[in-house]
Amino acid sequence: MKLTTLGTSNGDSTYNRFNSSTLLELNDSLYLIDCGAPCEGLLRRAGKDFTKIRAIFITHMDNDHVGGLTELYKEIIKYARYYQHTHIYLAEDAAEAFFVWAGAMRLSRREDVFTFHVVKPGEIYKDENITVEAYPTDHIPYAPVKPVSFAFSVSYEGKRLLHTGDLRDDFTDYPAVLFEEHFDLLLCECTHYKPEVAMPSFLKTKADRMIFIHVAERWHGTAGEMDFYQSYKPIPVPFLLAHDGDVFEV
Q: Which residues bind Zn ion (CB under 5 A)?
A: 64, 166
Tell me the β-bridge partners of 248: 3
Instruction: Choose between 166 and 173: whose C-beta lies nearer to Zn ion.
Output: 166
In the complex, minimum distance from the CB of residue 19 to Zn ion, in angstroms, rounded to a whole number: 8
In the complex, minimum distance from the CB of residue 161 to Zn ion, in angstroms, rounded to a whole number: 19
Instruction: Choose between 27 and 63: whose C-beta lies nearer to Zn ion.
Output: 63
Tell me the β-bridge partners of 126: 131
Instruction: Choose between 64 and 71: whose C-beta lies nearer to Zn ion.
Output: 64
* Cα→Cα distances 192→65, 103, 197, 199, 205, Å: 14, 34, 10, 13, 18
* Cα→Cα distances 221→79, 128, 158, 215, 230, Å: 38, 40, 36, 11, 14
In the complex, minimum distance from the CB of residue 66 to Zn ion, in angstroms, rounded to a whole number: 10
In the complex, minimum distance from the CB of residue 28 to Zn ion, in angstroms, rounded to a whole number: 30
| Chain CA centroid to CA 45, Å | 19
Tell me the β-bridge partners of 185: 161
Q: Are 4 and 246 in contact (CB under 8 A)?
A: yes
Q: Which element (helix H / strand E) includes 188?
A: strand 185-190
Going by C-alpha positions, the residue among 175, 189, 194, 176 that lies closest to residue 232 is 194
Instruction: Choose between 64 and 173: whose C-beta lies nearer to Zn ion.
Output: 64
In the complex, minimum distance from the CB of residue 23 to Zn ion, in angstroms, rounded to a whole number: 17
In the complex, minimum distance from the CB of residue 166 to Zn ion, in angstroms, rounded to a whole number: 4
Instruction: Choose between 17 and 54: whose C-beta lies nearer to Zn ion.
Output: 17
Instruction: Choose between 54 and 192: whose C-beta lies nearer to Zn ion.
Output: 192
